[in-house]
Amino acid sequence: MNSSDCKLGVTNIKRKRPVEDADESSGFRPRVVYVIDMKLLFETTKIPHIKNRNFVVDHLIESYKLKQFMEICEATPATEDDLRWFHASNYIEHLKIERNIDDDDDDNYTDENDSEFGLGYDCPLLKDTFGFVCSIAGGTLTAADKLINRTADIAINWAGGWHHAQRDGAEGFCYINDIVLGIQHLLKVFNYVLYIDLDVHHGNGVENAFAFTRKVLTLSFHEFEPGFYPCSGSVNDIGLGKGKYFTVNVPLREGISDSLYCAVFNRVACAVESIYKPDAVIVQCGSDGLAHDPIGEFNLTHEGYGQCVRTILKWKKPTLFLGGGGYNIANTARCWTYLTSIILDEEISSDIPDDFNYFRLFGPDYELRVTPSNRKDMNTSEYIDNIVTTIMCNVKNITENSMS
C-alpha cells in the first residue's frame, strides 16, 4: 500500500438526508446512535489529564452539524450489579467509600488500602468515585443496548474506551473497564465479538479479561518498546487455554505513520474478520497515536485512523465505537469528529467552524487536519514482515472447528 491509499482528505461540506429519512432506494444507510449528555460530559472532566476534552469533542461535532444525522441518546448510569459483571466485589465496595476530596490537594489518599486497588498516582481519588464509574460504564452499556435491541447499526460513545482497568483495580487513568462490561453485555445476544484497539497503549485490561475464551477475539495495535506503558502485548501473547490464538497483538515501534499503519491494519484486521466472522465489533479509537500527542510516540494523522474505520465499516457488522486515550485535546477532537463524519458518510469542511466554542484551541491554522511530525519511523521492513508473518501463522489456527 502506498501513501495515497490513506489519503482521505476533507473537502467542502456536503449535506445528505438525515438517517431517519434514508430508504432502501438510497442503498444501505446505517442507523447511528450517539450516546451523550451533560452528566456524562461533566463526569469525564474528573479524569486526570483530559480536563474538558469531551466537551471540546462534543461541541466540535455539534458545530459541524453532524448531530442531525444521528439519534442522540442519554446514558443510563450503570448499577452496582452491572459493575459486578466483571469487577471484584471488594474493589466495588472500596469505590463506594465516601471521601472528602480537595481539588487543590495532591495528597487525597486517606485509606491505607487505596494502593491495593490502584488508586493513587495516575488514578487519584475523585469526588464521588462510585458515581463517576457508574456514569462511565453506563455510557458504554447504553450504547451496547442499542445494538442488542437492534435499534441501531452503529453506536458511538467517545466518553468510553477505558481499556486498562483490571478486575480488581484501577490502572492507567482507567477506573472502570467499560469495554469489558460492554462486550459482556453484547454477548447476551451476539455469539462472537471482535474487539479492536487502536490506542497507542496496549489494551491489557480487555485482553486479560478474555484471554481464556473464544467468544471474544481481542486485536490490539500498539506501541511496544522497552519501558513503554503497560509493557505488555508481545506478538507472542496469543491467549491462554481454550482462548489460545484468540488474542492477536500487533506490537509496533515508535514513529509509525499512516501509510505503513494502514497497510498493517488492513492486512491483519481483514484476515482476522474473515476467519473469525464476528457477530459484532467494538472499536477503541484512542487517539494518542496521533502525531504531537504528549504521551504517545506514533506519527499518525486523522486520515490514518479514518482509513481503519472505513475498513471496519465495510464489514457491515453491528459496531460500537469508543474513545480512549488522547492527550492533545485539539487533535483528539479533530480526529473523533472526523471519524464521526466517516461513520455518517458525511463530508465536512477542512475549516474549523468559526462559531465553535473552543475555536482558539485550534490555532494557528484553525483546520481539521492533523499534520504529521518529523519523528523518525523505527519500524523497519524486516521488523514489520516478521511480526505480520507470525500473526498470519497464528490467525490460521482460528478455524470454525476451533470456535466450537
Summarised one tens digit per residue, pLDDT across range 40-73 is: 999 999 998 898 999 999 999 999 999 999 999 9
337 phi, psi to nearest 5 deg: -70, -45
Catalytic residue, candidates 94, 163, 164, 202: 164
320/151 Cα distance (integer angstroms): 13
Residues of the chain with pLDDT under 50: 1-26
pTM exceeds 0.95, yes or no:
no
Written as nine digits, the cell of 353 is 467552524
Predicted confidence (pLDDT) per residue in 138-192, tens digit: 999 999 999 999 999 999 999 999 999 999 999 999 999 999 999 999 999 999 9
Q: Considering only CA atoms, which of 341, 313, 339 is closest in space to residue 324?
A: 339
pLDDT at 248: 98
The full set of domain ranges for the chain reads 11-17+29-395
pLDDT at 399: 79
Query: Residue 386: which residues within 8 A CB-CB, separation 6 or more?
Result: none
Helix 329-344 with 53-63: angle, nearest 10 deg: 40
pLDDT at 167: 97
DSSP string covering 139-163, please?
Answer: HHHHHHHHHHTTS-SEEEETT----
Tell me the one-letter amino acid at 135.
S
Residue recorded with cell 506501541: 223
- Check if 164 is active-site: yes
Choosing among 4.10.520.10, 3.40.800.20, 3.30.390.50, 3.20.190.10, the CATH entry for 11-17+29-395 is 3.40.800.20
Q: Considering only CA atoms, which of 272, 331, 281, 322 is closest in space to residue 304?
A: 331
Whole-angstrom CA distances from 219 to 33, 154, 249, 256, 391 are 24, 19, 6, 18, 11
